[in-house]
């Protein structure tokens, strides 16, 4: 499974859990037509699902900081799931380039939520990336 497909699976599972679902990776693969997961794909999915859950407060705080005029509780859950996966990758996965996380999130937003959502998600992630780049240079405080 390409990383793009694994990322889409992660978003679907984060979304499913936000709706009260309890299905795991194997259930998702069965529903998606017996998708084959390599050990690397499974490790990525487990890391993202576990990481989003364990770091939910920090991730949701970042969404609140950067989603201007939007409360997370009023945001479409699919958009929130896309943002949660992307922000987890941006903050905790140094092996994934920032641009890749952002571009994949925008693509998923177009696919699942539409052009307006894609623009919104692009704006949120763009601001987060810019601020984190400043933080890494040591010229601004962390958010």
Residue with tokens 């623009």: 119
Long-range contacts of 12-20 (CB under 8 A, 24+ apart): 12/81, 13/45, 13/49, 14/48, 14/49, 14/52, 14/81, 14/84, 14/85, 15/77, 15/78, 15/81, 17/49, 17/53, 18/77, 18/80, 18/81, 19/77
User: What is residue 26's predicted lDDT score, i.e. its pLDDT?
Assistant: 54
Q: What is the pTM of this model?
A: 0.86
Domains of the chain as residue ranges with CATH: 3-137 (1.10.940.10)
C-alpha pair distances (Å), 30 with each of 11, 36, 39, 82 = 16, 9, 17, 22
Q: Out of 4-8, 22-26, 67-71, which region has the weakest mean confidence (pLDDT)?
A: 22-26
CB-based contacts of 22-25 (< 8 A; 24+ apart in sequence): 25/49
Q: Which residue has the higher pLDDT, 105 or 19?
A: 105
């Amino acid at each position: 499974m390409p990383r793009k497909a694994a990322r889409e699976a992660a978003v679907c599972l984060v979304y499913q859990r936000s709706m009260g679902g309890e299905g795991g990776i194997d259930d998702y693969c069965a529903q998606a037509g017996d998708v084959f997961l390599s050990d690397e794909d499974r490790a990525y999915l487990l890391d993202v699902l576990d990481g989003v859950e364990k770091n939910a407060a920090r991730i949701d705080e970042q969404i609140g900081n950067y989603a201007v005029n939007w409360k997370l509780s009023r945001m479409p859950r699919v958009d929130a799931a896309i943002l949660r996966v992307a922000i987890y990758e941006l903050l905790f996965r140094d092996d994934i380039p920032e641009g890749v996380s952002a571009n994949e999130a925008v693509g998923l937003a177009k696919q699942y939520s539409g052009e307006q959502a894609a623009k919104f998600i692009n704006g949120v992630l763009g601001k987060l990336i810019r601020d984190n780049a400043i933080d890494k240079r040591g010229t601004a405080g962390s958010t």
